[in-house]
Structure 1
């Protein structure tokens, strides 16, 4: 079954238009989300204030905060509030973030 040239051109232009519309939609969604950086130093200071190893806690918390832009409230537990923070693990499979 042979397709006419105008039909093929129409299909290709339609696909191109759909791809551009999708890219524009993604771009607009990205700009509408305002992501403000949190102060990792003060957030980790509050998180690690009762830690028995404060230097280690601050270092791990700072790394996790920089990657996730989130630190759970309180001094322990509540990690599931920040999914990125909660799911980050070391090479050994242990939780990285305090």
Structure 2
């Protein structure tokens, strides 16, 4: 039993640490590299029922701003560029 718990515990700590690093990368303007956008947007859009459009527009905005706000919704003030991208109707394009 102890032999199984140790590798599982190590794996669990590794997953939590990786998630913590990814969530702290999101946020500051220009803090991401283009290849980091899919992971940051995957976290941002993980709780929505409209994953495909959320991921599409989040990646679009991330590629332009190199930033994704932290959390699953809101916090757009962390990325002014992300917050300023609007649709023709004047609504926010970035989720």
> What is the TM-score when the length of structure 2 is the normalising length?
0.64
Which of these residues, 59, 63, 66, is aligned with residue 69 of structure 1? 66
Which of these residues, 72, 77, 85, is aligned with residue 88 of structure 1? 85
- Residue ranges of structure 1 left out of the alignment (5+ in a row): 1-34
1:47 equivalent in structure 2: 44
Query: Does the CA-based 8 Å contact 2:82-2:94 persist in structure 1?
Result: yes
Matched pairs, number: 65
Bigger relative contact order (CA 8 A; separation at least 6): 2
| Cα RMSD after superposing both structures | 1.8
- Structure number, greater radius of gyration: 1
Is residue 59 of structure 1 aligned with residue 86 of structure 2? no
> What is the TM-score when the length of structure 1 is the normalising length?
0.62
Q: Which portions of structure 1, spanning 4 or more consecutive aligned residues, are displaced by more than 2 angstroms?
A: none
